A and B are shown apart, each in its own frame.
Chain A
Amino acid sequence: MPETVRNYFGAITDVVQTFWQGLSVTLSHMLRRPITIQYPDRTEKRVADMLPARYRGFLEVDMAVCTGCLACARACPIDVIKISVDKDPANPKQRVITQFDIDESKCMFCGLCVEQCPTGAISHTREFESTVRVMENLVFRWVPDAAKPAPFYRPVKGQDAPRAPVGSLMRGYLAAQVWAAPAPDWVVPAPGKDKG
C-alpha cells in the first residue's frame, strides 16, 4: 500500500483506538470516588483539624514563655511582628513586653520567626480561617492591653518552657473575634479616608 493510503486509513484506526481508550478512562472515573471534600460545612471534622501538625497557619504567641529576645521580629523579612519592650514601672529590674502585634493580613507564613524562637513561644497553628470587615482587625495583639504588660520569661536550664498547647490560644482568640468589629482605636486613619 502506498504510504499516503496507509496514513489515510491509519488515521481512522488511530482515532477509533485512542477514543476507545480515552472514553473508557473517563467512564472508569465515573465509578471512582471523587477526591474533593466539601469545604467548609460537609467535612467530618473542621478542616483546620485535618491538617498536618506542621501546617503553617496563623501565628500564635504564648506570652507566658516569651523571653522578649526580639529574634522573631528580626527574622521576619517583611516586618510583620511588632514588639515593644519597656521597664516595669513597679519593679524597674523587671523588663516587660508592652506590645506584641502580628499582622496576619501581611504575614506570608514562611516560618522563619518560629525557627528563631528559643522557647517556642511563637509558633504556627493549624488555624487559617478568619475574615473581618476591617483589615486592621487581622493584626493579632498578643498583649491586648499595654497597661498590663507581660513580663519577660526567664528560661530555666534543663527544663522545657511550659508552653500552652499549640493552637489553644489561637482558638480562643478567633472565637472572640467579631466579623463586623469596627476598626481598632489604635489605628491611625489614613488621610482623607474614613475608617469604620
Chain B
Amino acid sequence: MKITTALDSTSLTRRYPKTALATTLFFMLALPFLLYVVLLLMLPFNRPEALNAVAQRLGWDLGHSLYRDTWYGVILLVEGTVVALYAAVFAGVTTWVERRIAGRMQSRIGPNRPGVFGFMSWVADAFKMLFKEDLIPAEADRLLFRAAPYFSMVGLTLPFVVLPFGESVVVADLNVGVFYLTATSAFIVVGILVSGWASNSKWALFGAVRGAAQVVSYEIPAGIAIMVPVMMAGTLSMQGIIRAQGGLPWQWFACQNPAAFVAFFISVTASLAEGNRTPFDLPEAESELVAGYHAEYSGFRIALFLMVEWANMWIMGALAVTLFLGGWQIPFVSVEMINQTRGTEVFPTLLWFGWQLVSLLVFAVKTWLLVILFIWLRWTLPRVRVDQMMALCWKYLVPGAFACFIFTLFWVMVPASVHLVSGVVLSAGVALLLVKFALRTRKNIAQVKGASVDLSNW
C-alpha cells in the first residue's frame, strides 16, 4: 500500500549514481589537486631570474626591465588568484568536514545526502548563499555595511601570499614573512569592527567591540610566541624557519626546545582567539549575542564572513606547522637532497617536481590535522566570558610567552646536542601521551553501559 507521505525505503542501500560519484571526486580531489598542480607548475618561475631564463629559452627578450617586471606582476597576480581560490575551496571543504565531525561527536550523522558522503553539501550551501536575498537594514550605514566583508576578505587573502605550501611552493618568500603575516591577518578585525558599526544593531556592536578587544589583545602573546621559533631559526622568512627544522618530530622546533613547546600552545591558543574560534567565539556568541557582528548580514555577504572564518583556520594551522611542527620537511629527506634533484637546467627535473608534491602533501596533512584539532576543540569546549578571555591573555599567555622568549634567548646558546636530546625526550613524551589518550578514549566507551565501538551509520 502506498502512503502518500512515506517514501520508499529502498534507498536505504546506498548506490550512488555515476554523476554524483564523478562530481564528488572532482570537487574532493581534482579541484584542490588542480590548484596544487597549477601552483607547482608556476612557482619555479616566479623569480625574475627564472623568468628571464625561461624567456631566453623561448627566444624572447625580456632584458628590458619594464617587460620583465610586468610579466612578473602578471604571474604573481595569477598565483595570488589561485591561492585565493584555494582558500575558498578550503573554506568550503572545511565546512563539510566540520559538520561531519561535529555530527558524529554529537551522536548525529551530519550532512550525508548531496554527493557521496554528503561532500557536495558545501557546494550546495555556496549556491544557496549566492541566491539568497541581500538584505541591508534600513538604518544601516549602507556603504560601510557593504564594504565590511571585503575588509575581512583582504585580511584573509593577504597572508596567503607568504604561506608556504611546499619546499619551493610559496607565492613570495618575503624575508619579513612572519611579520607580514601577523600584520596583514589582523586586518580581519577591521571588517568585524566596520560590520558591527555599520549594522546599526546593538547585538552587532557588542560583537564588534568584543572582537576588536579580543584580536588586539591576543596579537601580543601571539607575537611574542612567534618570536621563539624566529630566534631559533634566526630569520623572519617562513621558508627559512622551515629549512632550519627537520622532517622528524625531534627535529621540529616544538620538540627541540621546551620553551618552544609551550610557545606552540600559546601561539595556537592566541590564534584561536584571533580567529574567533570556540572557546573564544565571543564576537559571534550565538547564545549571548544571537550572531554578533554578522547578525544583520545575509546572502553573499554572510558567506564571505563565514568563508573568512573557516579559511582562516588554514592560516592558523599553516602558521603553527611552519613555526613549530617542521612545515613541509619530509622525514629522512633533506633540503639539499631535493635541491640536488633539481638539475642545472631551467626546467627542473620530474623527480624534483615529485619531491615538491610530497612536501606539499606533508604540509597539507600536518595542517589538516591541526584544523581537525581546532574543529574538535570547538565541539568540546564551552565559551569563555569576556573578562576571563582578557584575564587569560594578560595573566597567562603574555607572561608565559615572555618567559618562553627569555628562555629561548639562552637556549639558542646551548650546543646542538642538547637540542637533539630535548627533541627526543619531548617527542617520546608526546607519543606516550598520545597512547595514554587513546587508552583513555577506549576506556570511555568501555565505561558506559550499552556503548560499543561501531563505525557504521555514516
**Which residues does A use to contact B, with CB under 8 Å?**
8, 11-12, 19-36, 38, 40-48, 127, 129-131, 171-172, 174-175, 177-179
- CB distance A28 to B5 under 8 Å? no
Partner of A23, one of B6, B109, B380, B451: B380
Tally of B interface residues using CB under 8 Å = 39
Are A20 and B445 in contact, CB atoms less than 8 angstroms apart?
A: no
Residues from chain A with Cβ under 8 Å of B381 in the complex: 19, 22
Which 6 pairs across A and B sit closest by C-beta, in order of nearness? A33-B454, A28-B444, A129-B5, A41-B7, A24-B440, A26-B380
Give the shortest distance, in Å, between B150 (CB) and chain A (any CB): 36
Q: Beyond A28-B444, A36-B109, A171-B3, is A43–B377 a contact (Cβ under 8 Å)?
A: no
Please name 17 further chain A to chain B contacts, defined as beta carbons within 8 Å, in addition to the given A33-B457, A34-B457, sorted by A numbering: A20-B440, A21-B440, A24-B441, A26-B105, A28-B441, A28-B442, A29-B104, A29-B105, A31-B455, A33-B452, A33-B454, A41-B12, A42-B9, A46-B9, A127-B3, A174-B4, A175-B4
Q: How far is the CA of A163 from the CA of B59 in the complex (A)?
A: 96
Question: Is A48's CB under 8 angstroms from B380's CB?
Answer: no
Pick the residue among B5, B444, B453 that contacts A25 (CB under 8 A): B444
Q: Smallest distance from the beta carbon of A194 to chain B beta carbons, Å?
A: 25
Q: Are B453 and A32 in contact (CB under 8 A)?
A: yes
Query: What CA separation (Å) do A43 and B9 show in the bound complex?
Result: 6
Q: Within the complex, what minimum Cβ distance (angstroms) separates B115 from chain A?
A: 16
User: Would A32 and B107 be within 8 Å (CB), given that A26-B376, A27-B376 are in contact?
Assistant: yes
Q: Which partner residue on chain B sits nearest A45 by CB separation?
A: B9
- Determine the distance from Cα of A174 to Cα of B4 in the docked complex, in whole angstroms: 7
**In the assembled complex, which residues on chain A have CB atoms less than 8 Å from the CB atom of B441?**
24, 27-28, 31
A30 B11 Cβ-Cβ under 8 A: no
A28 touches B12 (CB 8 A): no
What is the minimal beta-carbon distance from A7 to any residue of chain B, in angstroms?
11
Bits for B99-142, please: 1 = Cβ < 8 Å to A, else 0.
Answer: 00101111111000000000000000000000000000000000
B25: min CB distance to chain A, Å: 23
How long is the Cα–Cα vector from A23 to B1 in the complex, in angstroms? 48
A-B contacts, CB under 8 A, total: 109
Q: Given the interface contacts A30-B104, A34-B108, A34-B109, does A42 sit within 8 Å of B11 by beta carbon?
A: yes
Q: Are A32 and B452 in contact (CB under 8 A)?
A: yes
Closest A residue by C-beta to B10: A41
Tell me the complex Cα distance, A105–B7, Å: 22
State A24–B446 Cα separation when bound (angstroms). 13
Within 8 A of A (CB), among B152-205: none
For A42, what are the chain B residues with a Cβ–Cβ distance below 8 Å?
A: 9, 11-12
Contact, CB under 8 Å: A31 / B453:
yes
- Secondary structure of the B contact surface, majority rule: loop
User: In the complex, A45→B442 CA distance in Å?
Assistant: 33
Q: In the complex, how many angstroms separate the beta carbon of A89 from the nearest chain B beta carbon?
A: 36
Report if A38-B109 is in contact (Cβ < 8 Å); known contacts: A43-B12, A129-B5, A130-B5: yes
Residues of A within 8 A of B109 (CB): 34, 36, 38
Contacts of A12 in B (CB 8 A): 396
Contact of A36 among B108, B442, B451, B456 (CB under 8 A): B108
Question: Would A177 and B107 count as touching, CB distance under 8 A?
Answer: no
- Asked if A34 contacts B104 (CB within 8 A), the reply is yes
Interface presence of B27 (CB below 8 A):
no
Cβ–Cβ < 8 Å partners of A129 in chain B: 3, 5-6
Query: Cα distance A172–B6 when bound, in Å?
Result: 14
A32-B107, A42-B11 known; A47+B6 contact, CB < 8 A: yes
Chain A nearest CB: distance from B445 CB in Å?
Answer: 5
CB B264 to nearest CB in A, in angstroms, measures 14
Decide: B106 and A31 in contact? CB cutoff 8 A. no
Interchain residue pairs with CB less than 8 A apart (28): A8-B395, A19-B380, A22-B380, A26-B105, A28-B444, A29-B104, A31-B454, A31-B455, A32-B451, A32-B454, A33-B454, A33-B455, A34-B103, A34-B457, A35-B107, A38-B109, A41-B7, A41-B11, A41-B12, A42-B12, A43-B12, A44-B12, A48-B6, A129-B3, A129-B6, A130-B4, A131-B5, A175-B1
**Contact at B1–A171, with CB atoms within 8 Å?**
yes
> Does B2 touch A at the CB level, under 8 Å?
yes
Rounded to whole angstroms, the CA-CA distance of A177 and B2 in the bound complex is 11
Asked if A41 meets B3 with Cβ closer than 8 Å, knowing A20-B440, A28-B441, A34-B108, the reply is no
Task: Specify the chain A residue showing the minimal Cβ separation from B454.
Answer: A33
> A30 and B105: CB pair below 8 A?
yes
- Tell me the nearest residue of chain A to B400, going by C-beta: A12
Bound form: Cα–Cα A172–B1 in Å: 8
Contact partners of B440 in chain A: CB under 8 A: 20-21, 24
Roughly how many angstroms separate A189 CA and B7 CA in the complex, as a whole number?
A: 33
Does chain A have a CB within 8 A of B345?
Answer: no
**Contact partners of B11 in chain A: CB under 8 A:** 41-42
Hey, which chain B residues are within 8 Å of A131, CB to CB? 4-5
Specify which of A22, A29, A46 is in contact with B6 (CB 8 Å cutoff): A46
Task: Check: B437 CB closer than 8 A to any chain A CB.
Answer: yes
Closest CB-CB distance, B375 to chain A, in whole Å?
Answer: 10
Complex CA–CA separation, A17 to B8 (angstroms): 49
